[in-house]
Structure 1
Amino acid sequence: MKLDSQIVGNAGLYFTCYHLSLLGWNAMPTARNARGIDIVAYSRDGKRYLGIQVKSLSKQAPVPLGASIENLMGDFWVIINKLSSEPTAFILTPHEVKRLAHRGEKDGRVSFWLQPNSYETDEFREAWDRIGRGDGAA
């Protein structure tokens, strides 16, 4: 089934909120299509806050990062691919996204991408534990 890109984005956002909630975080999406992080999550005791960036893809594909990777936002990046068939999440830090980013140039314009072979690793695959728990449980 072919999904509209906005629907794919929404599904990935709520898929991520669901998983964060299972880890004990209070997770709330921010305003759609606004610059900045996609999800604010805070611990049950309100002492810890996280900003999460979500990139949702309907199939296995490179993740577009834009013209610059200097100011990547968020404490974690969640990349979800194959959203319309068998969603798989990959959890990275912004530092890891920068380190793994591929620089492309076409017609004099620079763009950065995260290639599937860079983020689809066992280190990142379904690694929700990298984020930690929001309810104080071990």
Structure 2
Amino acid sequence: MVDSIIPKPKRVDGQITGLAGELFVAAELLKRGIQTSITFGNAKAIDLLAYNPDTGRSFTVQVKAIRKKNVFPIAHNKINRAHTYVFVVLNKPGEAVQYFIVPGTTLEEDPDRFTHWFTDPKFPGFNWRVLQDLGHEDAWHVFSEQA
């Protein structure tokens, strides 16, 4: 009878997903000439530090990663307007990673734009498609704009 038991799929480690997202974002920023440093460690307030030498602007970057197209769990009351948020859909191996870049000011000042779930007290967040529909996909220009 033991042979007939089907094992449950292995649960993905959230820390691995988060680290993968941070590394992908760091690589994309470096590819675009943005000096980038990863802040390793648990319970950290900032995932990446970035500096654009062309504009002289520095950025504190918060990365939120999910493995497949789903909901980004993030609460509106946890947003820091000084951060730049990069939402990452890792997708399956062999599929392109998707990036959605949103300034913290945009997330903080207009939460309804990201659906009422963003301010939901029980399970706050929003679907990746909201970011796509609002034009935030591959918005890397955020890191090149003047202050």
Aligned residue for 1:31, secondary structure, equals coil
| Identity of matched residues, % | 24
Cα deviation for residue 33 of structure 1 reads 2.5
Match of 2:33 in 1: 24
- Kept in 1, the 8 Å contact 2:55–2:144? The answer is no
Find 1:70's aligned residue among 67, 70, 77: 77
Question: How many residues are paired up?
Answer: 127
Q: Which runs of 4+ in 1 moved over 6 A?
A: none
Q: CA–CA distance in 1 between the matches of 2:99 and 2:142?
A: 12
User: Structure 1 pair 94/15, CA: closer, same or farther in 2 (3 Å)?
Assistant: same
Q: Provide Cα deviations, 1:45-90, integer angstroms capped at 9, x if missing partner.
A: 7942101110010001111114xx2352343110011443431001
- Report the CA distance shift for 1:70/1:104 in structure 2 as closer, same or farther (over 3 A): closer
**Greater strand percent: which structure?**
1
Q: Is the 8 A contact 1:97 1:114 kept in 2?
A: no
Q: Does 1:112 align with 2:135?
A: no
Counterpart for residue 121 of structure 1: 133
Question: What amino acid maps onto 2:64 in structure 1?
Answer: K
Q: TM-score if structure 2 supplies the norm length? A: 0.72
Structure 2 unaligned runs (5+)?
1-8
**Out of 88, 95, 100, which is 2:98 matched to?**
88
**Larger Rg over CA atoms:** 2
Q: How far apart, CA to CA, are the structure 1 residues paired with 2:144 and 2:54?
A: 14
Per the normalisation by structure 1, the TM-score is: 0.76
**Deviation at residue 12 of structure 1 after TM alignment:** 0.7
Please state which structure has a larger fraction of its residues in helix: 2
Tell me the amino acid that sits aligned with residue 65 of structure 1: I
8 Å contact kept, 1:8–1:83: no
